[in-house]
Amino acid sequence: MIPTIIEVPRNPRRVWIKAFVPTVGGWTPPSDLDVLLGLSWLPEGLFVHLVVTDDTQSEQPGTENLWQGDSVELFLGTRVGESHYVQFLIGSYHAKVVEVDHRTQGKGPLQCRVTSQTDGGPPNTYVLRAYLGWAQLGIVPKTGLELAFQAVVNDRDRDGTVRQYGLHPGGSAYNDPKKMIRLRLTQEPDHALELATEADVSRFPQTKLALVGPFGLVGTPFVIRDRSGTLATGRFTKKPHGAVGEVQLSRAWDETITCEFSKRRSPLLLENPADIRAKLLTDAKLSFSSFVFTDSRFPTPEVSERLEAALGGVALTTTFYDTNQKPVTQPTAPGRYGAVTTLKSKSGLTRTFFTTLYKSPGSHDSWQKPNFFAGRIPEELGVLPEVSKLRQGEIAEFLRERFLAHLDDDPKSAVLLAGLAECKPDEPPVARLSPDARDGRWWWGLQQKLGLAPRLRTALQLPAGYDSDKTRRWPLLLFLHGSGESGDNLDLVKVHGPWKHTKEFLIAAPQNPSGDWWRPEQVLTLVEELERTYRLDTTRLYLTGLSLGGFGTWATALLAPRRFAAIAPICGAGDPADAVRLTELPVWAFHGLKDDTVPPRHSQEMIAALQKAGAREARLTLYPDTGHDAWSATYSNAALYTWLLSHRQSSL
């Protein structure tokens, strides 16, 4: 996303902004809170002037948990496009300040001078004036410089609920500089931002737009324009939370979009249409005329009319592959097929879709057999087991109808049938051999052949002495993070883990872009890339991970049990039915007994299954007073690294 740009003039001029909306829970303008933000700059620092009118005044007594009372948080990214930022948490009435430096380099003392005023102004109003010094932030100010910025107001209501309001759009993007509002330092003042905005882009480019301003604007006509001309006209009406203007835009807008009213002009903070199109394409689903088919021709790919209209027209190109991953033009044999579809829009956007198809060896008529399904209703639903047995015909008919109703239009049907058709009768029913797992590995192999396999962005820490000793080979510690560190901000993967606790390994931490389950085949491909790129001792490759990464550690080891010398899964879960594959792999698992996110029984069951199978070494450490965070105590324990290094693959 390209952030909205706000031009900040040089002091004594000031740009005024009045466009705060909730950071979570949908767009509901505050009815009990009024916020006015002023910004200006000098060669010495950035000046922030904030006026907040609140019907309830409640500030935390100390600096701990200051955000749980009336307060303000200022976030400033030190560079646009980078992930470094600093945070200033300011108490509302007594100018208490908590400074948090989220930079990974160049950390040093910060300078935030704040004054607070509550007397002499409107009732229930506090005024904060903050000065953020450039030098301490490592910033050299000049006209045209752009910085990432977000301001968040924490409002504690009478019932103790704390609500947060941030600059719109992207009010919730206060911990990622790449998604924050962008400030551009200028000499001349910009127009005041007086209106909060909401855009419903579900039918883009047809866009429902709501403007919210003070009650004094009720009855005032307005005109919305951009560089190309008039987009819409309307009149503010009275609503419970202020004067609201509601219009519909029939086309996309450019970054100059403004609202003119009462001889004033307010820029509107709306997302760039190019970003909206890109997001719509990212979230889009590709459909086929049928995912499970019996014809001698392949089904046809389809996109929704809404997506096609939003993108200004699209072209689809599809190549089909058989079960052996060879390109084909016709489905000659029953079984798995893969469709690689490239979508190109007239606006220049491109996306590739990967879809599993299944050709049935028989017609759908064969699935009309009355015994096609058999099942039993769980007794917990109030049906006696004896009744379920007697009424299996009705149950089977119900399940068969539901299955056939979505067989053609549900992509999971093809994945299920293709995976089951490839299963062998003597294979164990383990997760590693499930239809979903087979599908993931099949597609990963094809994507690699086509050069379309996604690469994991990876943070690295070289061991001490790596650059000085060019002949030595080093152990690898591969670290898989938890779900909270997923995304596109690579610095997040360094929030937790072994980074500051050991310098003996080359530490590599890939970032899971989506927060979905780790793909073991993708992790193993990364290991191969690291072996080609760095001087690694291939007999000392170790794997560890926490929470989601703990799941990934177990899954990756189960897929390739002889790839690593030892593993250390933390608060994760594996497949006890498949534990026999790990009997020769040293395992040390960790879990908190009070973990209610991933119950400790998952680690206990895996270690018990390993020990029952005669595992060479299977250890489990349980922290009696620890919840989900079992990683802090684990990674700070030097014994873990000593234990890992005591194992080599050559000894297996």
Angle at alpha carbon of residue 449, lines to 444 and 453, rounded to 5°: 45
Burial of 162 (0-12, 13-18, 19+ CB in 10 A): middle
- Taking 50 as the pLDDT cut, the residues of the chain under it are 1-2, 27, 651-652
Residue 87 contacts residue 72 (beta carbons within 8 Å): no
Q: What residue ranges do the domains of the chain occupy?
A: 5-185, 196-276, 284-361+402-449, 458-651
Q: How far apart are the first and last CA of the chain?
A: 49
CATH topology of domain 284-361+402-449: Immunoglobulin-like (2.60.40)
Torsion angles phi and psi, residue 474, rounded to 5: -120, 155
H/E element, 359? strand 350-359
Distances from the Cα of 364 to the Cαs of 1, 421, 423, 437, in angstroms? Answer: 46, 16, 21, 26
CATH class, domain 5-185, is mainly beta
Full 3-state SS string of 429-483: CCHHHCHHHHHHHHHHHHHHHHCCCCCCCEEEECCCCCCCCCCCCEEEEEEECCH
User: 401-440 burial, b for 16+ CB within 10 Å, e for fewer?
Assistant: eeeeeebbeebebbbbbbbebbeeeeeeebebbbbebbbb
- pLDDT for res 1: 37
| Residue 521 identity (one-letter amino acid) | E
Q: From 554, 552, 648, 652, select the one nearest 609 (Cα to Cα).
A: 554
The answer to whether 61 touches 30, Cβ cutoff 8 Å, is no
Are the CB atoms for 592 and 623 separated by under 8 Å?
yes
Residues 462-519 pLDDT 10s: 999 999 989 999 999 999 999 989 888 888 899 899 999 999 999 999 999 887 899 9
In one letter, which amino acid is 616? R
Q: What is the side-by-side strand order in the sheet with 458-461?
A: 458-461, 506-510, 474-480, 536-546, 566-570, 587-592, 618-623
Residue with structure tokens 């299963």? 423
Instruction: Check residue 566 and give its pLDDT.
Output: 98
Same fold, 5-185 and 458-651: no
Burial (CB count <10 Å: 0-12, 13-18, 19+), residue 392: middle
- Which residue type does 165 have? Y
Question: Do you find a cis peptide bond into 205, omega within 30 degrees of 0?
Answer: yes
**Other beta carbons within 10 Å of 238:** 11
Helices (H), 177-260: none
- 352, 402, 408, 447 from 338: Cα distances, Å: 13, 25, 16, 11
Cα separation, 525 vs 530, in Å, equals 9
Dist. CA 529–CA 11, nearest whole Å: 52
For residue 184, what pLDDT is reported?
Answer: 86
- Residue 165's Cβ-count burial label (10 Å; 0-12, 13-18, 19+) is buried
Q: Confirm if 16 and 37 have CB atoms less than 8 A apart.
A: yes
CA 295 remoteness from chain centre: 40
Asked whether the bond before 463 is cis by omega within 30 degrees of 0, the reply is no
Residue 542 forms beta bridges with which residues?
Answer: 477, 566
Query: Quick one: which H or E segment has residue 507?
Result: strand 506-510
CATH topology assigned to domain 458-651: Rossmann fold (3.40.50)
Half-sphere exposure of residue 632: CA atoms within 13 angstroms, side-chain side = 6
Using DSSP's 3-state secondary structure scheme, residue 113 falls into strand
If you search the block for the tokens 């307010």, which residue do you land on?
266
The answer to whether the beta carbons of residues 649 and 567 sit under 8 Å apart is no
- In angstroms, rounded to a whole number, what is the distance separating the alpha carbons of residues 64 and 645? 40
CA distance 393 to 226: 65
Instruction: Return the CATH number of the domain spanning residue range 196-276.
Output: 2.60.40
Q: What's the rounded Cα separation, in Å, for the pair 98 and 514?
A: 32
Residue type, 120: G
Residues 112-122 pLDDT 10s: 777 766 555 56
What's the confidence (pLDDT) of residue 312? 87
